[in-house]
Amino acid sequence: MKKLEDYLCDYAHFSPQKIALKSAEGALTYHDLWTAVCERATELLLEQSSVYVTRAKQGFDFVIDYLAAHKAGKVIIPLEKDLPDERFQEIITLTAHANIPDVVSDILFTTGTTGKQKGTMITQTVIISDAENLIDAQGFTSDITFIITGPLNHIGSLSKIWPSIIVGATIYIMDGIKDLNAFFTTVKNAPNKVATFQVPASLRMILQLGEKQLKDCADKFDFIETGAAPISQADMEIMCKLLPNTRLYNTYASTETGIIATHNFNDGYCVAGCLGKPMKHSAIKIDDNGYIVCKGKTLMVGYCGDEDETNKVLHDNKLFTKDTGHLDEEGRLQLIGREGDIINVGGFKINPVEVEDIAKSMPEIADCICIPSPHPVLGTVLRLLYVVKEYHSVEKKAIAKYLASKLESYKVPQLYTQIEKVKRTYNGKLNRKAYLPE
């Protein structure tokens, strides 16, 4: 099996002047990138450790380090760029004493929104299989510029480097999208079509603050992918309207499962929660309890240094998730929710994502999160924490009335609190754990 670095080497020889990497700091051709990777690999070979732990900063240096570590036969462990030093050292200690199988190439640490962070071990087979899944299902080609704005230690963005290199595309790295003018300038200046991966929170920001710019650039977008968290029906419909000729993908993936399924919701079936059919190297089944079970070449090897946790989710060559869903008559995965997110109110089990989606369809609401809250009489009730759009205002009663017009009565929150910002993880997921009582 060809490795990722083998593809890079091929392009360095056969398309040496093709631009491989771009950013605000400049550009590297495939020849330049391969040369830098080889030089860095030589340096890494001098280090005794079989693992290379590093912070995944948004730039050329990390991409070079990542590919060089592979070439040098090291296991690379890319961590959040702002990870505290104490946690950084903990991970070095953990991985130094762990039994890491020889086939492992990367250890990616999960965000830990539902528990402690875990080091997910993946192989080159996983990397290539994930890449081929994306190339086949989403149509990566050599003439696109793929714009990466998210953290490179997270599979959502890191996994876009893999297919881009395999097809010989150009990768443009940005540090987030807070500067929307810079993002849209990059889109406009790309020589051909562009593609990008954006978590739903980032897409919502683009829609709220850059709707006109997005519409003006509509012909430049080949495809846009979202994932890592649920996207609301309202945002999906707005995107379809603004980008009528762009493929818009909602993808089911995780660090543990790899890239599993995807759906173009701009192709006649725009329904929140639809994540499409399994990709070429993957398969999905729903167990008797409604949980999603994944099979195929993209599954992790296990959790680094944690055999017990591994055995809970990975056995019989299957990955047992805590996500619930069903397969519709077309074989498409319809996601219902995650077990840990469900809120029990008076015997009713409520998926907070459903409440949040409806709330975010209000013109005045910029963002929100629905959480359980203690009540002296009723026990547990729903509380909606919401952010109001700039230059807008909304009464709590108006929110409750709006939700009551679209939801069953037991799903309408009893409590409402306006906040300045919803807490999220560094990769855009709602940080529900941050709102749980200590």
SS3 annotation, 5-34:
HHHHHHHHHHCCCCEEEEECCEEEEHHHHH
Sequence-distant (6+) residues with CB within 8 A of 188 are 217, 220
193 and 223 Cβ atoms separated by less than 8 Å: no
Which residue from 66, 240, 275 is spatially nearest to 152, judged by alpha carbons? 66
Q: Which residue has better confidence, 13 or 201?
A: 13
Task: Kindly list the structural domains of the chain, giving each domain's residue range(s) and its CATH number in brackets, ordered by start.
Answer: 4-336 (3.40.50.12780), 342-435 (3.30.300.30)
The total of other beta-carbon atoms located within 10 Å of residue 23's CB is 18
Residue 406 banded pLDDT, cuts 50, 70, 90: confident
Condensed to tens digits (0 to 9), the pLDDT of residues 265-286 reads 999 999 999 999 999 999 999 9
Sequence-distant (6+) residues with CB within 8 A of 133 are 258, 259, 260, 279, 280, 281, 282, 298
Condensed to tens digits (0 to 9), the pLDDT of residues 113-123 reads 444 678 999 99
User: By CB neighbour count within 10 A (0-12 exposed, 13-18 middle, 19+ buried), where does 316 fall?
Assistant: exposed
DSSP 53-101: EEE--SSHHHHHHHHHHHHTTPEEEEE-TT--HHHHHHHHHHHHSS---
pLDDT at 112: 52
The total of other beta-carbon atoms located within 10 Å of residue 31's CB is 16
The total of other beta-carbon atoms located within 10 Å of residue 418's CB is 14
Condensed to tens digits (0 to 9), the pLDDT of residues 198-257 reads 988 889 889 989 999 999 999 999 999 999 888 889 999 999 999 999 999 999 999 999
pLDDT at 388: 96
pLDDT at 114: 45
pLDDT at 282: 98
Listed range (86-95, 176-185, 380-389) with the worst mean pLDDT: 86-95
- Model pTM score: 0.85
| Tokens 């340096």, located at residue | 43
DSSP 287-316: -TTSEEEEEETT---EETT-HHHHHHHEET
CA distance 384 to 354: 12
CA distance 250 to 225: 6
Which residue from 240, 302, 233 is spatially nearest to 273, judged by alpha carbons? 233
Which letter does DSSP use for residue 340 in this model? Answer: G
Residue 374 banded pLDDT, cuts 50, 70, 90: confident
pLDDT at 113: 45
Query: Is the confidence at residue 76, as pLDDT, over 80?
Result: yes
pLDDT at 111: 60
Q: Within 13 A of 436's CA, how many CA atoms are on the CB side?
A: 11
CA distances in angstroms from 297 to 106, 126, 259, 268, 280, listed in the order given: 15, 6, 10, 30, 10
Element (H, E) at 209: helix 200-209
Sequence-distant (6+) residues with CB within 8 A of 267 are 247
Residue 39 banded pLDDT, cuts 50, 70, 90: very high
Residue 341 banded pLDDT, cuts 50, 70, 90: confident
The total of other beta-carbon atoms located within 10 Å of residue 35's CB is 15
Which letter does DSSP use for residue 214 in this model? Answer: H
Query: CA angle, corner 46, sides to 45 and 48, nearest 5?
Result: 90
CA distance 222 to 190: 12
